[in-house]
């Protein structure tokens, strides 16, 4: 009989528990697809008493993941602890040193140390796999690394964080403001008690850095990702965007700059027309659009998180290892990944949404128009609504295409104007056609 593939899982949270459940539920199908049995022989977690609804009999339990990696007789180490440093990094490096294959869902670890880890794995002929790190159950890693290997990718665009997408969707559907919807998302388990990584765009930035490496053959460069979050988005912004025919989405975008040959990596909330594929992606769903020179536009959509989708991606990597399928970690050998220059966002050229809350008095609109004129920013549309309860008015402007540095100078001038009640609200408009 073919020897079974022995795996150890560190972290029996929702994803780890889901992985064990999949292996137990779909045992026969996984064996057939792997060409050999796949068995969990060891797990590591601090909470041994919690009932996880899975059968852990016959599996060796470790309180210490490092001890498990150092001593267990295993072929694959599944790291589901999380975090760029600490025990997660320590155990992955230890597994690679023992020539044990690694499967991880840890996007932070890969964003900060992915190239070094890939070089180590490839030097000793073992696999470092991470399908679950981006997009949950969407097989976007395999798609970029293998399915689109014949193409030169020009752009990657994605909704990569289900928490933010849920918040923005709910704000649009209910008219409620950010803080209220965030609290609901936490109560439903869609947002962490400390949601900083999600709502400030950090989680999306980690994922985008990984996708950029796969798409463009570059070294993972998290430091070059410009990241903004959604804290400042109000129900008013969503309402006004709808009036102009747009939806607001937190997007991760990466593309090659035609002038410099460098890579632009940016994460921010932006306006996209309601007829775009990503505009219809609602709730906790993720979606990624890859644009290749021969295949054209490919759209991948699915649940971005949760026990089922993420665990499905973890086991898909395990099946590849069991079946002996290997590819370089980031599509090409890690030693050949290029370090391309990053491109500053102030060189970005596009259209913009600007909302200004101002005192309702004569001459204010002329001051705004003057600041825009002096910095060579042309206004395409202007919308002014009636007074608020404090006798102020919102002025919403859609600009023509302009360089971002010009707009930022215009907004800086306006900040000094006593008529502004609060700092200007600016978002980019992305043409994804």
Q: Which residues are catalytic, by number? A: 207
Phi, psi of 317 (to 5 degrees): -65, -40
Task: Sort strands 226-227 and 246-256 into parallel, antiparallel or unpaired.
Answer: unpaired
Report whether 92 contacts 68 (CB < 8 A). Answer: no
The two structure tokens encoding residue 323? 């079946």
The two structure tokens encoding residue 431? 């043409």
Helices and strands in the chain: count of H runs, count of E runs? 14, 17
What's the rounded Cα separation, in Å, for the pair 155 and 365?
38
Helix axes 14-25, 27-34, angle to 10 degrees: 80
User: CB atoms < 10 A from the CB of 189, how many?
Assistant: 10
C-alpha distances in angstroms, 190 versus 94, 170, 177, 182, 375? Answer: 33, 12, 17, 9, 42
The two structure tokens encoding residue 321? 């290892």
C-alpha distances in angstroms, 63 versus 67, 83, 86, 325? Answer: 8, 18, 16, 32
């Amino acid at each position: 009989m073919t020897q079974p593939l022995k795996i150890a899982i560190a972290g029996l949270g929702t994803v780890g528990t889901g992985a064990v459940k999949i292996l137990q539920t779909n045992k026969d199908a996984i064996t057939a697809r792997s060409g050999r049995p796949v068995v969990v022989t060891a797990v590591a977690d601090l909470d041994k008493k919690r009932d996880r609804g899975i059968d852990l009999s016959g599996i060796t339990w470790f309180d210490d993941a490092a001890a498990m990696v150092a001593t267990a007789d295993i072929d694959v180490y599944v790291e589901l602890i999380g975090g760029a440093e600490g025990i997660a990094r320590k155990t992955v490096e230890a597994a690679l040193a023992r020539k044990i294959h690694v499967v991880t869902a840890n996007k932070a670890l890969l964003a900060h140390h992915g190239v070094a880890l890939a070089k180590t794995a490839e030097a000793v002929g073992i696999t470092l796999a991470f399908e679950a790190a981006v997009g949950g159950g969407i097989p976007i890693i395999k798609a970029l690394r293998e399915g689109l290997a014949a193409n030169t990718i020009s752009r990657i665009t994605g909704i990569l964080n289900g928490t933010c997408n849920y918040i923005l969707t709910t704000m649009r559907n209910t008219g409620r403001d950010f803080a209220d919807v965030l609290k609901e998302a936490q109560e439903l388990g869609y947002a962490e008690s400390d949601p900083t990584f999600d709502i400030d765009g950090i989680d999306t930035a980690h994922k985008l850095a990984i996708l950029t490496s796969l798409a463009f053959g570059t070294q993972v460069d998290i430091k070059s990702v410009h990241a903004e979050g959604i804290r400042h988005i109000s129900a008013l912004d969503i309402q006004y965007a709808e009036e102009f025919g747009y939806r607001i989405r937190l997007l991760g975008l990466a593309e090659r700059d035609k002038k410099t040959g460098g890579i632009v990596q940016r994460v921010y909330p932006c306006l996209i027309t309601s007829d775009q594929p990503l505009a219809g992606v609602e709730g906790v769903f993720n979606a990624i659009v890859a644009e290749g020179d021969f295949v054209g536009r490919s759209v991948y959509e699915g649940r971005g998180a949760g026990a089922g989708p993420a665990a499905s991606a973890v086991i898909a990597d395990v099946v590849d290892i069991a079946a002996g399928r290997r590819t370089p970690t980031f599509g090409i050998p890690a030693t050949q990944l290029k370090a391309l220059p990053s491109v500053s966002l102030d060189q970005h050229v596009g259209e913009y949404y600007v909302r200004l809350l101002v005192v309702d008095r004569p001459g204010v609109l002329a001051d705004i128009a003057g600041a825009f004129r002096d910095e060579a920013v042309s206004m395409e549309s202007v919308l002014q609504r009636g007074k608020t309860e404090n006798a102020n008015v919102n002025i919403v402007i859609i600009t023509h295409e302009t360089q971002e540095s010009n707009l930022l100078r215009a907004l800086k001038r306006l900040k000094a104007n006593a008529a502004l009640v609060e700092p200007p609200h600016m978002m980019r408009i992305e043409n994804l056609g």
